């Protein structure tokens, strides 16, 4: 490196403006009831009922997001969704819009944005759309190593 030449800046970690997201997909089927009816989800079902409305909305939409991604035919097996990884979710009534979310599938992290609307009693999904994103594993690991 020549004297006086600065080293290149490390790549910036992605934020909601730089997450690479694919085409918008609108769900034709909702999976929440099937997911929550599984015996292994008994504890989750009970926990959801005790949450205040905004937290219940967020957790319920996260469950639907896991199922939608897992059933998208892209080969993902998601086990975690973080709706507010890169941006705060917006909540209006029974609708949650997560523009800066990520999910983990087989130890890799990917961007995702989703819009989820629940019934008035927060027990069923009435609308869900999403955009799958690129692999952001390195950025996520870099962020975790800073904490």
The pLDDT tens digits of the residues spanning 27-50 come to 999 999 999 999 999 999 999 999
The model's pTM is 0.85
Q: What is the mean pLDDT of the chain?
A: 88
Confidence at residue 104, expressed as pLDDT on a 0 to 100 scale: 97
- Could you tell me which of 46, 33, 39, 43 has the C-alpha nearest to residue 118? 33
* Residue 10: pLDDT band with limits 50, 70, 90: very low
Taking residues 87-107, what's their average pLDDT?
Answer: 96
Taking residues 92-103, what's their average pLDDT?
Answer: 96
Q: Say yes or no to pLDDT of 140 above 80.
A: yes
């Amino acid at each position: 490196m020549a004297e006086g030449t600065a080293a290149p800046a490390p790549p910036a970690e992605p934020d909601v403006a730089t997450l690479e997201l694919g085409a918008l997909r609108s769900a034709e089927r909702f999976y929440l009831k099937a997911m929550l009816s599984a015996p292994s989800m008994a504890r989750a079902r009970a926990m959801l009922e005790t949450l205040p409305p905004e937290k219940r909305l967020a957790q319920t939409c996260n469950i639907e997001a896991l199922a939608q991604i897992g059933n998208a035919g892209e080969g993902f097996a998601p086990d975690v969704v973080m709706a507010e990884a890169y941006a705060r979710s917006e909540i209006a009534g029974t609708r949650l819009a997560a523009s800066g979310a990520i999910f983990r599938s087989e130890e890799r992290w990917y961007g995702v944005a989703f819009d989820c609307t629940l019934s008035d009693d927060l027990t069923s999904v009435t609308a869900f759309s999403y955009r799958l994103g690129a692999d952001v594993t390195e950025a996520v690991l870099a962020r975790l190593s800073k904490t």
